[in-house]
């Protein structure tokens, strides 16, 4: 380990276990000492332009003054208080605001600390929804290939069963119905039939609307989303949308489901909910789902309660982020970002090894035939001064929604430089 790395790095590195990382062979992680706007500041003074906004969280960029001011004020008042038997202003304000922003009657907000947990909660809610009405046996879910819903067990079980992240756990996970995402009317008719035939064992269908994120940044049309929603309605199975990636402006509307005019029974929110500051997620249910839990029987209550649920500091962050959505025309900026990305990514279509280029909202994707070594490719991007994490066979950017035009150009130029140097994909030649 290099001697010019900071002391905290040299002394602590052996004690940390990093995500999705082969600790024996992976290149050492980069020491970050600060963030600023769309930049990461490294210990050696370098600044990297962040193309992925810290796993799609930092929607307003880092260190936004409005976020900082309101979070600091909240720390002075109260960082945390349990939600069991107690409530606080931030949680109620945030619940009311989310219910107002979400389409239809998604009115009942259940908080948690991570996206995966919000998915676990959605699944449990769906199972208990049927049980509370005296309907037994509806405890399985339909999920889709290339779907990703998190790393906890039930969340893994409804995601793509063959993806590299979850393959090892097949024997441990609950069996679900994992199907190919419909692409045509014919596929939709097949799904409809499948739901009709198996509805007695199905609690619900879960999917990511418009973009399957971690499973490869795969897009589908609003009509497909609408068709799946319709199939669920016809078969009377619950429709669960995981907007942990797509929510909060990422696809051009506040929530992706708006583009298909679809209202799910349950929606999961996370990631950009607190604009990349502190951990928080939410599972929001419609009146119909919520009402199935109202009873004189205490056992029909929803049996879940994360320790840090509705953490006041996280609520303050989420409320501050919603203030920014109101004060700054963020969605209008996404339109401009989409235009810029569409125009500048078009040039990549003709590069060797490029299979597809696609843009939706502030998500731009270059699909390659394959990427031999994503870590090596990542290092090439760092050399160009940008932080981009290729995923499977795609290079993608999901920048902060506050990114300036010149910064988008810098990102694009860095990608162009790397694609022109094919050395990172040598064994592909």
Ligand X SMILES: *Cc1c(COP(=O)(O)O)cnc(C)c1O
Nearest to 13 by CA among 55, 54, 49, 43: 43
Residue number with CB closer to ligand X (244 or 317): 244
Residue 110: beta bridge partners? 283
Residue 398, annotated ligand binder? no
Sorted by sequence, the CB contacts under 8 Å of residue 117 that are 6+ apart come out as 150, 152, 281, 306
Residue entry with tokens 């004060």: 327
Which two structure tokens, joined as six digits, stand for 388?
């981009």
Quick check: 22 and 375 in contact, CB under 8 A? no
What span, in angstroms and rounded, lies between the C-alpha atoms of 273 and 60?
11
Residue number with CB closer to ligand X (241 or 263): 241
Question: Known catalytic residues?
Answer: 20, 148, 242, 271
Nearest to 417 by CA among 394, 389, 385, 392: 385
Residue 286, annotated ligand binder? no
Residue 307, annotated ligand binder? yes
Nearest distance, CB of residue 57 and ligand X, angstroms: 9
Residue number with CB closer to ligand X (130 or 245): 245
CA atoms within 13 A on the CB side of 237: 31
Residue number with CB closer to ligand X (348 or 396): 396
Residue number with CB closer to ligand X (37 or 115): 115
Nearest distance, CB of residue 314 and ligand X, angstroms: 12
- Helical H segments across 102-135, by residue range: 115-131
How are strands ordered across the β-sheet holding 47-50?
A: 32-36, 39-42, 47-50, 386-387
Residue number with CB closer to ligand X (115 or 312): 115
Which positions touch ligand X (CB under 6 A)? 114-116, 119, 148-150, 208, 213-214, 242, 244-245, 270-271
Nearest distance, CB of residue 116 and ligand X, angstroms: 3
Helix (H) or strand (E) holding 386: strand 386-387
DSSP string, 324-365: HHHHS-HHHHHHHHHHHHHHHHGGGGGSTTEEEEEEETTEEE
How are strands ordered across the β-sheet holding 394-397?
A: 354-360, 363-368, 394-397
Nearest distance, CB of residue 271 and ligand X, angstroms: 6
Sorted by sequence, the CB contacts under 8 Å of residue 149 that are 6+ apart come out as 115, 116, 119, 143, 155, 156, 158, 159, 206, 208, 242, 244, 268
Collapsing DSSP to helix, strand or coil, 153 comes out as helix
Residue 182 CB neighbours (<10 A): 20
Collapsing DSSP to helix, strand or coil, 387 comes out as strand
Quick check: 316 and 73 in contact, CB under 8 A? yes
Residue number with CB closer to ligand X (212 or 344): 212
Strands (E), 124-180: 140-144, 177-179
Helix (H) or strand (E) holding 269: strand 266-269
Which two structure tokens, joined as six digits, stand for 116?
């995966």
Residue number with CB closer to ligand X (182 or 213): 213
Distance between first and last Cα of the chain = 32
DSSP, res 19:
T
Residues making up the annotated binding site for substrate are: 55, 148, 271, 305, 389
The binding site consists of 55, 115-116, 148, 242, 271, 305-307, 389
């Amino acid at each position: 380990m290099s001697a010019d790395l900071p002391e905290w790095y040299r002394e602590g590195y052996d004690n940390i276990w990093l995500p999705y990382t082969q600790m024996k062979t992976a290149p050492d992680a980069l020491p970050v000492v600060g963030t600023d706007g769309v930049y990461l500041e490294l210990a050696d003074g370098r600044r990297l332009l962040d193309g992925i906004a810290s796993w799609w969280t930092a929607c307003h960029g880092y260190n936004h003054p409005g976020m900082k001011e309101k979070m600091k004020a909240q720390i002075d008042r109260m960082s945390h208080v349990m939600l069991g038997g107690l409530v606080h202003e931030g949680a109620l304000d945030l619940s009311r605001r989310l219910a107002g922003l979400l389409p239809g009657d998604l009115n009942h907000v259940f908080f948690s600390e991570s996206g995966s947990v919000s998915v676990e909660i959605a699944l449990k809610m769906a199972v208990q929804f049927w049980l509370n009405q005296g309907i037994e046996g509806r405890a399985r879910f339909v999920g889709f290939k290339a779907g990703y819903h998190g790393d906890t067990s039930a969340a893994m079980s409804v995601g793509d069963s063959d993806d590299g992240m979850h393959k090892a756990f097949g024997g441990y996970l609950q069996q679900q119905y994992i199907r190919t995402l419909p692409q045509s009317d014919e596929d939709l008719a097949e799904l409809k039939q499948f739901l009709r035939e198996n509805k007695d064992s199905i609690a619900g269908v879960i999917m990511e609307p418009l973009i399957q994120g971690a499973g490869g940044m795969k897009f589908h049309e609003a009509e497909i989303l609408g068709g799946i929603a319709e199939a669920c309605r016809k078969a009377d199975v619950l429709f669960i949308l995981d907007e942990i990636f797509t929510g909060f402006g990422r696809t051009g509307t506040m929530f992706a489901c708006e583009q298909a005019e679809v209202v799910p029974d349950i929606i999961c929110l996370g990631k950009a909910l607190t604009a990349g500051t502190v951990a928080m997620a939410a599972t929001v249910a419609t009146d119909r789902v919520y009402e199935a839990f109202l009873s004189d029987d205490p056992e029909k209550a929803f049996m879940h309660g994360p320790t840090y649920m509705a953490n006041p500091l996280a609520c303050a962050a989420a409320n501050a982020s919603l203030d920014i959505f109101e004060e700054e025309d963020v969605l209008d900026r996404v339109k401009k970002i989409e235009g810029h990305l569409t125009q500048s990514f078009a040039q990549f279509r003709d590069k060797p090894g490029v299979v597809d280029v696609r843009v939706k909202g502030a998500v731009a994707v270059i699909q390659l035939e394959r990427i031999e070594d994503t870590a090596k490719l990542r290092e090439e991007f760092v050399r160009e001064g940008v932080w981009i994490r290729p995923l499977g066979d795609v290079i993608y950017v999901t920048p902060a929604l506050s990114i300036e035009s010149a910064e988008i150009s810098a990102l694009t130029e860095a990608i162009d430089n790397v694609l022109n140097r094919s050395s990172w994909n040598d064994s592909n030649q």
